Amino acid sequence: MLYHFAQRSVFTLIVLILSSFTIFVIVQLPPGGVPARPVGEPVYVQYLSWMNQIVTAGDFGWSRGWRKPVWDLIEERIILTAVISVSALLLTYVIAVPISIYSATHPYTWADTLFSTFGILGMATPNFLLALLALVFLSRTFGLSAGGLFSPEYLRGPWSIGKILDLISHLPLPVLIVGTASTASVIRVLRATLMDELERPYVKAARARGLSEIRLLLKYPVRMALNPVVSTVGTILPLIVSGSVITAIVLGLPTVGPLLVRAILEQDTYLAAAILLLLSILTIVGNALSDFLLAALDPRIRFINGGEVKSSALPSAPPTFSVLLPFSKKGKTMSKVPLLANDFVTVYESPNPAGAYCYTPGIIRLDSGRLVATMDLGGPEVDKLNPTQRFEHPRHPYTFVGKVFTSDDGGETWVHRVDFPVMHARPFLAGNRIYILGQANDLGILYSEDEGETWSQTFMLTEEEQWHQSACNVWYANDCVYLVMERRVSFDVKGWPVHEMAPVLLRGPVDADLTRRENWTFASELAFKDVIPDGVDLVGFPFWTPYETKGMSPMGWLETNVVQFVDPDHVWCDPTGHTFHLWMRAHTGGTGYAAIAKIVEQDDGSMTTELETVPSGQQVVYVPCPGGQMRFHVLYDEQMKIYWLLSSLSWDSMTHIDKLPPGRYNLPNNERQVLALHFSKNMMDWRMAGVVATGNSPKEARHYASMCFDGEDILVLSRSGDEKAKNAHDGNLITFHRVKDFRDLVY
């Protein structure tokens, strides 16, 4: 946009120079023109001398007819001309836009017919005729004199508060008369364009997604329909000025119009040239203004690398930014990636980045507007921080401690509330309580009944088991809360045990005491090892052998989200509302796939976990999912009937592990630097909304993020790192990001 502004400014200057030279030459063509230099002097020399006088001294020359400096003649008149013209222009849009919107949304009603008739008559009636009719009507009906801009006592006097108020009292009539034709023109153009826009498919699709009629109109078709109207600003403004010349004579208005007519008739060269130059400046600047207004109204118009880049049919696409990404070569950046929320607020920073790492951010919004965030701190040196609560991990020499924070100002500042002795927890609402469910080998849960001010002790839901999860999503249906935890069902794998994980859907009534095990229903278990013991031919999973990746763990699934399909046309929709689908991170060594399964609620209330089938009858485990190789988060927007996906994008998964650049963590597909937002109507076909945030180096991660809705915004809590982070996995920050107007990203 800045490049375009500079480019247009240069073009505007060139056009001004050419137009001023043309004007200077033309006004000297009539016989009797008085040259500024001897006759033998070239015209361009005369022009340069004239322009030098204007630019350096503000001297427009000498009026032969009036025998005084040109500027003295036009100074006050140009101010009055600008006041009337700008007032008429503003009045045009203030009246025309709401009338056009009403007419287009209520076509062929009596009001629309009335406004359309006004549009036709307003364009067909000359301004001077309106002026004459106004003079006759006011004088004969009320005995008033409607001419001029000042009362006699202020006509020759100096400017004062009284004179300004007197001018304002005289403005309505000339402004209404001068602005009538332009108002009528805009009404006709905008009404026709808006009616055409309202019939376009994207408007029908937006209505189907549940947008309110007012928001739909203002966000989409009105902005689109304004384009041809705004593009005429540059021509309407000078037409208002020049077209009101006779009107000004009829009403006795001291503007530049009557002065220009007299200068031309008397062949007053420099007076005519000065007025024409000012009018041309007005025209050129008006056109440049309309150009920039178009860019502001229609975000599809993007000025990148000197050209216009147009996006989708919806005018709500986010602006594009230059983003330095890990695959950018030195000195080069991506110029078209929508960067949605790279700025952040630090919720927590590790005091010991080398030995205490930030994990598992979770976030919810309360009805009061308060935000509640959770995270855990883990690492070999957490004990040195003297935590009040702690948990020792069974597979690592790590100590973990969970933390709760709240914010009452939209995430700008955060208050630490309490520590708790479970890890990888998530907050959720049920009844009048906020719960936090995580694991300390066994499942542990705590709650607050005062919006997070104080918290209960931690209650254990299981005994002598090993559970796993992250702060994935929570689903509400059938007056219950549904979420997934993962239980390790065997202990044959010596490394990362995702091969032995079974996702277990938990269901609890929202009005029950969920700290009691008997109030939860656990679905049956289906471990990955029982679905795919070894690998999958034709898909290429696992992608790497353990030797090539220095000990890649067996394939598995983990970090599960739960969804339902409510669209009756979806092939997996259950109209009874008792089927749930699990979307899981797929550990395969590859990228771009998630693992799935389904849960069916039985008549007796039990829940059965099984594989899903496609219409052909084939079972399916892997489905397309951007960033499905890493932990992701899914939300469902009831208003637009769209699923939102927050995930980490990979770029360099095909490079052999021995060739990875310094700073890369673990497997080639284990990239954590770019956090992206996608949307889908069916969880299979994804469109990218943009990059939420990105780090400046491979170890400055933005990953494992959770999100929640906040009105028109999406709030994101990310597991992050800066230059002090140990690596991409073991970061030192929990960061808060706000994606504004997320529904406008849909196309």
163-201 pLDDT, tens digit per residue, is: 888 888 888 888 888 888 888 888 888 888 888 888 876
What pLDDT is stored for residue 140 in this prediction? 67
pTM value is 0.60
Residue 488 pLDDT greater than 80, yes or no: yes
On the question of pLDDT at 432 being above 80, the answer is yes
Mean pLDDT (the chain) is: 84
pLDDT at position 301 is 54
Residue 505 has pLDDT above 80, yes or no: yes
**Residue 443 token pair:** 């499942």
Whether the per-residue pLDDT at 398 is higher than 60: the answer is yes
Higher per-residue pLDDT: 96 or 225: 96
Helices 172-198 and 233-243: crossing angle, nearest 10°?
150
- DSSP string spanning 222-291? HHHHHHHHHTTHHHHHHHHHHHTHHHHHHHT--SHHHHHHHHHHTT-HHHHHHHHHHHHHHHHHHHHHHH
Question: Which two structure tokens, joined as six digits, stand for 238?
Answer: 């000078």
Residues 6+ apart with CB under 8 A from 616: none
Contacts 24+ apart (CB under 8 A), 486-495: 486/558, 486/559, 486/560, 487/525, 489/525, 489/527, 490/527, 490/529, 493/553, 493/554, 495/551, 495/553
pLDDT the model gives residue 242: 62
Confidence at residue 534, expressed as pLDDT on a 0 to 100 scale: 80
Q: Lowest mean pLDDT of 193-207, 285-299, 467-481, name the range.
A: 285-299
Closest to 674 in 3D by CA, of 691, 653, 662: 691
More confident residue, 415 or 116: 415
Which of the four pLDDT bands, split at 50, 70 and 90, describes residue 319?
A: very low
Other C-beta atoms closer than 10 Å to the C-beta of 52 total: 11
Mean pLDDT of 490-503: 92
pLDDT at 513 over 70: yes
Mean pLDDT of 87-112: 89
State the residue for tokens 């004062």. 160
How far is the C-alpha of 74 from the C-alpha of 95, rounded, in Å? Answer: 31
pLDDT at 588 over 80: yes
Read off the pLDDT band of 722 (50, 70, 90).
very high
Give yes or no for residue 327 having a pLDDT over 70: no
CA 661 – CA 665 distance, rounded (Å): 10
**Which is higher by pLDDT, 666 or 689?**
689
Q: Which two three-digit tokens encode residue 37?
A: 């230099």
308, 301 in Cβ contact below 8 A? yes
pLDDT score recorded for residue 234: 64
The answer to whether 717 and 403 have CB atoms below 8 angstroms apart is: no
- Whole-number pLDDT of residue 297: 60
pLDDT band at 132 (very low <50, low <70, confident <90, very high): confident
Q: Is the confidence at residue 110, as pLDDT, over 70?
A: yes
Of 319-333, 607-621, 693-707, the one with minimum mean pLDDT is 319-333
CA atoms in the 13 A half-sphere facing the CB of 731: 31
**Regarding predicted confidence, which is higher, 361 or 127?**
361
pLDDT at 29 over 70: no
Query: pLDDT value at position 303?
Result: 44
Task: Say what the pLDDT of residue 165 is.
Answer: 87
Which strand (E) or helix (H) includes residue 113? helix 110-124
